[in-house]
Amino acid sequence: MYKHKLSHKEKRGAIYFLLVILLCFVVLYGYKCASTKVCQPMFLENVFRKNVDITFPNGKISAMVVDTKESREEGLSGREGLSDGEGMLFDFGISGKFGFWMKDMLFPIDMIWINSNGIIVDIVENALPEDYPKTYINSPPASYVLEIGANKSRAYGLFLGSKVNIGK
What CATH number has the domain bearing residue 85? 2.60.120.1140
Indicate the number of domains in the chain.
2
* Preceding peptide of 140 cis, ω within 30°: no
pLDDT at 157 over 70: yes
Question: What percent of the chain clears pLDDT 70, i.e. is strictly above it?
Answer: 81
Do 28 and 82 share a domain, yes or no?
A: no
Task: Summarize pLDDT for 89-98 with one digit per residue, the tens.
Answer: 999 999 999 9
Do 103 and 139 share a domain, yes or no?
A: yes
In our burial notation (b when 16+ CB lie closer than 10 A, e otherwise), range 147-162 reads bbbbebbeebebeeeb
| Residues spanned by the domain of 12 | 1-37
Distance CA 166, CA 168 (A): 6
Task: Summarize pLDDT for 109-144 with one digit per residue, the tens.
Answer: 999 999 999 999 999 999 999 999 999 999 999 999
